[in-house]
Amino acid sequence: MHSGISDWPLPDVDDSLIVDFDIFDVKPVDGDLHAGYHKLHSGPDIFYTPKNGGYWVLTRADDIYDVMRDHERFSNHGVALMREHEGVRFIPGEIDPPIHTAFRKVLNPQTSPKRVREFEDSSRNLCIKLVEELKDQGGCEFRSSISEVMPIYNFLFFMSLPVEHAEKLVPPAAVIARERDLDAFARAMEEIRGYIEDRIDERLTDPRDDFISHVLAAEIEGRPIAREEAVVTVLNVMLGGLDTVTGSMGFFFNYLARHPAIRRKLVDEPGMIPEAIEELLRRHGIFNTGRLVKQDCEHKGVTFRKNDLVLISGTLHNLDDRKFSDPLKVDFDRKEGAHLTFGVGIHRCLGSNIARAQLRILLEEWLKRIPDFAIAPGKDVKVQSGRTNAVVELPLIW
């Protein structure tokens, strides 16, 4: 799924630029994965790692920002950090302009704040139900109880699909998120793809006023959208909104469990939650994406060759002390500019409004009901780096 190992020859790189770095194995510092990422800022601004097939890593905020916005020289065909892969190419995540522009024109209105408000009540009611069920239990494993479950329901609300379908989707989605075995991963992908194809076929014969019907009615560059394009678009929207939201919820609650003073601020002043979320998102970047170099080019004296891969890490951007002072500190009064947790440029996250709504609702409803909680003594929190950083296990007590 993620190894991307290929026999691409090591580019002719100066030894001083080679660092043995593995994006799938960033070592946490005292349990803090982001502190582990931040250690890279004491090394070179740009280095090459031979791991996982080999790719360049940019560590500094300015460079990450520049490359993310430069789709002339850097292609999204490299999003998966693989030069070529056999799986489907997701739309819009793995395509370039001009066709990317045509798809985003269709998709952007579907995730506007207004559209998100339409299902906010359902989202809040689900969250209240989940937290009420947990409240008297005195503790939980946060991921399986909350952070892995909420995003699936929210996908169903957003797509106007029956909420009972969560039973079909939760198991394969969990496999996709956690499984390192390629066969198990492929089977789960097929299951989810089959589910989406069924919904698409239903709407091809019986169009409705919902996201999928809207996508199926789209014209792309003057022609009707192809069925397969619709399938990979819905797949991208679904999968783009699972691990990422799960991870953000996990890192937020891991942090709040260990920082009672910060937690207390949010309990006492729930009105500050929307702004606080931005700082928590900055501190806990989730996403590490890739770009494929389209043509030989130079950046800060380093030569990238056509078909080299570059790791673009929002996580590293947000922890760069040249941009954010004392970057590991959560400071709700920061005025240092935007984080890149949702990316920037033409591929900026399509679902940021949906993600923010889920995080806000969870903080509001949880802190009202369970204001004090901590990591369960004697139990380990498990975190994992990767293309999406994850909190794999988060045992909480209250």
Residues in contact with ligand HEM by the rule CB under 6 A:
68, 76, 79, 92-93, 104, 111, 236-237, 240-241, 244-245, 248, 286-287, 289, 314, 341-343, 347, 349-351, 354-355
From the list 346, 291, 358, 283, the residue with the least C-alpha distance to 316 is: 283
CB-wise, 122 or 398, nearer to ligand HEM? 122
Nearest distance in Å: CB 57, ligand HEM: 15
Nearest distance in Å: CB 241, ligand HEM: 3
Beta bridge partners of 223: 220
Nearest distance in Å: CB 316, ligand HEM: 12
CB-wise, 63 or 376, nearer to ligand HEM? 63
CB-wise, 263 or 282, nearer to ligand HEM? 282
CB-wise, 347 or 376, nearer to ligand HEM? 347
Nearest distance in Å: CB 212, ligand HEM: 13
CA atoms within 13 A on the CB side of 148: 22
365: its two tokens: 């409803």
| Residues labelled as active-site residues | 178, 243-244, 349-351
**Type of residue found at 71:** H
Which residues, at least 6 apart from 105, have a Cβ–Cβ distance to it below 8 Å? Answer: none
335: its two tokens: 């005025």
Nearest distance in Å: CB 234, ligand HEM: 10
**Separation CA 263–CA 391 (nearest Å):** 19
Cα→Cα distances 133→138, 249, 323, 327, Å: 11, 18, 42, 36
Q: Are 53 and 8 in contact (CB under 8 A)?
A: yes
CB-wise, 59 or 289, nearer to ligand HEM? 289
CB-wise, 49 or 388, nearer to ligand HEM? 388
CB-wise, 155 or 324, nearer to ligand HEM? 155
Nearest distance in Å: CB 96, ligand HEM: 10
Beta bridge partners of 45: none
CB-wise, 240 or 386, nearer to ligand HEM? 240
For residue 92, is the peptide bond before it cis, meaning its omega torsion is within 30 degrees of 0? yes
Nearest distance in Å: CB 39, ligand HEM: 22
Question: Which residue has its beta carbon closest to ligand HEM?
Answer: 351
Nearest distance in Å: CB 286, ligand HEM: 4
